[in-house]
């Protein structure tokens, strides 16, 4: 089964597509650019959602739900937002079908034309700030700390499963504050939540930073992001947190009476992560045999495969397994016992390797005799035979170790692939021959960034939060620069 996956060295992009499809994560649908998220893929997304939702609530946020549709006119209200956003999107113009008079199926009823077209939300700032106007009168109504889990649509021309799809699932936080300082604090708080989630659950090391002006969200004064490195040396933006200033409050006329009774415009943030995280998770850790999943996000963490010739042997093994499973579950470990007699152990081994199940336990007649079990790790494909007695403690510790090992491996890879460049030649050479993040000086102008992008496809992924103040010269223009920024070719 695993043989059907293209290897990474042969064609990384094809490897990714093969993996997503063969591991039953997602597939393309009948609708251009829209995907079907299959049960195994959705189970991973549900685990991500559950952890993120918990983290949002622990930081004081509540969930709500706003309409799928946004009146077209709303997009014109915030000038830079319309420039950056409202163009490639799905437009609803009619609200009824009718039978084709020719008897050939259904047609759009021309009499059912909407007075104003509705846009399927590409993001919800406009409809939410229109709503907040009625919710906010006084400083007592602030802050509003709301998150929404929703689907959004952006009519992308070139789509790829999870990474860039016309419809995708995401969460979008939209907060309203009385002061600039509080809104900025929220922006940082949420990028930290995203970074913690990526590192602790996805085992994905990320760099937190500011976006340059070119890469900023349409309507934001500052965009913070987390950037991760994939195995092909390309960067992937995994989450963003925007300080929106008073732009949307002004566009939608949202003012509050402060403690002195004076009217002020409200300060805003928005922040989001999407099913794109699935793409990051897959690309960061997996190998030519299939998925490698961090234990904390695996739909099941342990699979038990019986090795037997007779049904008698299977019965003996099953009895042992029935005793082990409750011990594992009591430790919060999710486990599947695959005693399907229609499939051979070899097929099962390949299948669960492909699916990225972190730990495989194999039990044969000799194990039953010896009181042992074969434990295989998916991350490094190592195997060892251990005592069955106390296996739950062994597996518990092993899952933690695997989680950490996957993270460490990705971190070591990123560190190896992060290089300083001090000249334009060096910069181009690194991009061509090494890839990864390039730490280089930049003169701070959008024009220079644009030229670098045109010549090399590399963009500024972020100005790291922990960037060191350092005198230098822009690798492109030679003009002075106060700190290095991170460049990369990105997804």
CA distance 270 to 466: 22
Peptide linkage before 82 cis (omega within 30 of 0): no
Residues 101-130: x/- map of binding to a copy of itself (CB under 8 A)? ---xxx-x--------xxxx------x--x
Question: Which bin fits 478, alpha (ψ -120 to 50), beta or left (φ > 0)?
Answer: left
Judged by CB under 8 A, the chain residues 359 through 418 that form the site for a copy of itself are none
Residues 201-220: x/- map of binding to a copy of itself (CB under 8 A)? --------------------
Burial class (CB in 10 A: 0-12, 13-18, 19+), 389: exposed
75 scored as a contact of a copy of itself (CB under 8 A): yes
Helix (H, G, I), strand (E, B), or coil: what is residue 490?
strand
Judged by CB under 8 A, the chain residues 28 through 57 that form the site for a copy of itself are 29-31, 34-39, 42-43, 45-46
Q: Which of 11, 13, 14, 93 binds a copy of itself (CB under 8 A)?
A: 93
Backbone angles phi, psi at 478, to 5 degrees: 75, 0
Nearer to a copy of itself, 85 or 413 (CB): 85
Token code pair at residue 114? 């909407």
Nearer to a copy of itself, 167 or 215 (CB): 167
Judged by CB under 8 A, the chain residues 310 through 349 that form the site for a copy of itself are 342
Nearer to a copy of itself, 163 or 486 (CB): 163
- How many residues form the binding site for a copy of itself (CB under 8 A)? 64
CB 461 within 8 A of CB 437: yes
Burial class (CB in 10 A: 0-12, 13-18, 19+), 163: buried
Beta bridge partners of 171: 149, 273
71 scored as a contact of a copy of itself (CB under 8 A): yes
Token code pair at residue 203? 């085992």
Q: Which stretch binds a copy of itself (CB under 8 A): 79-87, 260-268, 285-293, 459-467?
A: 79-87
- We find the least distance from the C-beta atom of residue 91 to a copy of itself, in angstroms, to be 4
Which element (helix H / strand E) includes 200? helix 180-200
How many other CB atoms are there within 10 angstroms of residue 399's CB atom? 22
Nearer to a copy of itself, 39 or 390 (CB): 39
Cβ contacts of 401 within 8 Å, gap of 6 or more:
none
Nearer to a copy of itself, 31 or 397 (CB): 31
Q: Please give the DSSP secondary-structure letter assigned to residue 435.
A: -
CA distance 67 to 61: 19
Q: Which stretch binds a copy of itself (CB under 8 A): 143-151, 213-221, 311-319, 370-378?
A: 143-151
Q: Which of 7, 63, 370, 450 binds a copy of itself (CB under 8 A)?
A: 63
Q: Which stretch binds a copy of itself (CB under 8 A): 1-9, 26-34, 239-247, 288-296?
A: 26-34
Beta bridge partners of 144: 176
Please, where are the H alpha helices in 264-338?
Answer: 276-285, 311-330
Q: Which stretch binds a copy of itself (CB under 8 A): 147-155, 290-298, 358-366, 440-448?
A: 147-155
Q: Which of 1, 2, 21, 90 binds a copy of itself (CB under 8 A)?
A: 90
Q: Where on the chain is the footprint of a copy of itself (CB under 8 A)?
A: 27, 29-31, 34-39, 42-43, 45-46, 62-76, 82, 86-98, 104-106, 108, 117-120, 127, 130-131, 134, 140, 146, 150-151, 153, 155, 167, 169, 342
């Amino acid at each position: 089964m695993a043989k059907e996956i293209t290897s990474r060295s042969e064609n990384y992009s094809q490897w990714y597509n093969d993996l997503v499809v063969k591991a039953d994560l997602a597939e393309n649908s009948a609708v251009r650019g829209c995907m079907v998220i299959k049960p195994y893929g959705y189970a991973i997304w549900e685990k991500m959602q559950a952890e993120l939702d918990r983290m949002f609530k622990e930081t004081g946020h509540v969930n709500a739900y706003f309409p799928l549709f946004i009146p077209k006119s709303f997009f014109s209200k915030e000038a830079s937002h319309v420039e950056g956003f409202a163009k490639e999107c799905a437009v609803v113009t009619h609200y009824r079908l009718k039978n084709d008079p020719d008897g050939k199926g259904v047609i759009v009823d021309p009499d059912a034309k909407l007075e104003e077209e509705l846009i399927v939300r590409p993001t919800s700032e406009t409809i939410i700030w229109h709503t907040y106007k009625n919710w906010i009168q006084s400083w007592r109504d602030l802050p509003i700390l709301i998150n929404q889990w929703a689907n959004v649509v952006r009519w992308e021309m070139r789509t790829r499963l999870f990474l860039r799809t016309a419809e995708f699932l995401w969460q979008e936080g939209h907060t309203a504050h009385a002061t600039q300082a509080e809104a900025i604090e929220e922006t940082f708080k949420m990028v930290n939540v995203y970074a913690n989630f990526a590192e602790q659950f996805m085992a994905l090391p990320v760099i937190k930073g500011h976006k340059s002006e070119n890469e900023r969200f349409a309507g934001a004064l500052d965009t913070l992001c987390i950037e991760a490195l994939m195995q092909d040396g390309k960067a992937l933006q995994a989450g963003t947190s925007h300080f929106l200033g008073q732009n949307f409050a002004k566009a939608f006329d949202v003012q509050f009476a402060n403690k002195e009774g004076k009217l002020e415009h409200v300060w805003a943030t928005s922040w989001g992560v999407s099913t794109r995280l699935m793409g990051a998770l897959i690309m960061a850790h997996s190998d030519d045999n299939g998925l490698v999943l961090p234990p904390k996000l695996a739909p099941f963490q342990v699979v038990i495969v019986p090795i037997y010739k007779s049904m008698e042997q299977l019965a003996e093994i099953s009895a042992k397994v029935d005793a082990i499973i409750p011990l594992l579950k009591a430790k919060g470990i999710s486990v599947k016992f695959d005693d399907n007699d229609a499939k051979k152990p070899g097929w099962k081994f390949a299948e669960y390797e492909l699916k990225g199940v972190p730990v495989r336990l194999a039990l044969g007649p000799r194990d039953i005799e010896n009181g042992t079990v074969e434990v295989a790790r998916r991350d490094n494909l190592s195997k060892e035979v251990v005592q069955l007695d106390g296996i739950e403690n062994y597996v518990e510790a092993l899952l933690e170790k695997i989680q950490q090992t996957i993270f460490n491996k990705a971190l070591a890879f990123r560190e190896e692939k992060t290089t300083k460049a001090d000249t334009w030649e060096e910069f181009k050479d690194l991009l061509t021959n090494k890839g990864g993040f390039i730490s280089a000086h930049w003169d701070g102008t959008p024009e220079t960034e644009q030229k670098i992008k045109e010549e090399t496809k590399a963009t500024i992924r972020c100005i790291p939060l922990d960037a060191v103040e350092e005198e230098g010269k822009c690798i492109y223009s030679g003009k002075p620069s106060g700190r290095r920024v991170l460049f990369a070719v990105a997804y």
